Amino acid sequence: GAGVSQSPRYKVAKRGQDVALRCDPISGHVSLFWYQQALGQGPEFLTYFQNEAQLDKSGLPSDRFFAERPEGSVSTLKIQRTQQEDSAVYLCASSLVISGNEQFFGPGTRLTVL
């Protein structure tokens, strides 16, 4: 079946612009995660949804970052007033159940802020 998909795959933004990144999880997966991967490092957790509820946003680096999953399926990560330090790959992952289950990752969106 289809895996996790993300769009766009690449995004270039001028500093100060707002961006929106989309994630389509595997159909039926309850849990959805966003991670940020800086160059040369491992992914770092941003936020977690269980269905439409955002249960953990402890990893969001500032109040410029906002995520939603209004119908419990597709999720959008929005970054307002982008800064150069926001340049990274943003990865989305989903898993079937709530705890202790295997996570599957999308191909990521590479964001470059000029």
Smallest distance, another protein to C-beta of residue 78, A: 20
19 or 46: CB nearest another protein: 46
Q: Which of 55, 61, 78, 114 binds another protein (CB under 8 A)?
A: 55
In angstroms, rounded to a whole number, what is the distance separating the alpha carbons of residues 31 and 72? 9
Length of the chain, please? 114
Q: Are 77 and 20 in contact (CB under 8 A)?
A: yes
Name the strands in the sheet holding 75-79, side by side, starting at the edge strand that comes first in the sequence: 5-7, 19-24, 75-79, 65-68
Of positions 25, 35, 82, 88, contacts another protein by CB under 8 A:
35
Q: Which residues bind to another protein, rule: CB under 8 A?
A: 31, 33, 35, 37, 41-45, 48, 55-56, 59, 89, 91, 93, 95, 98-105, 107-108, 110
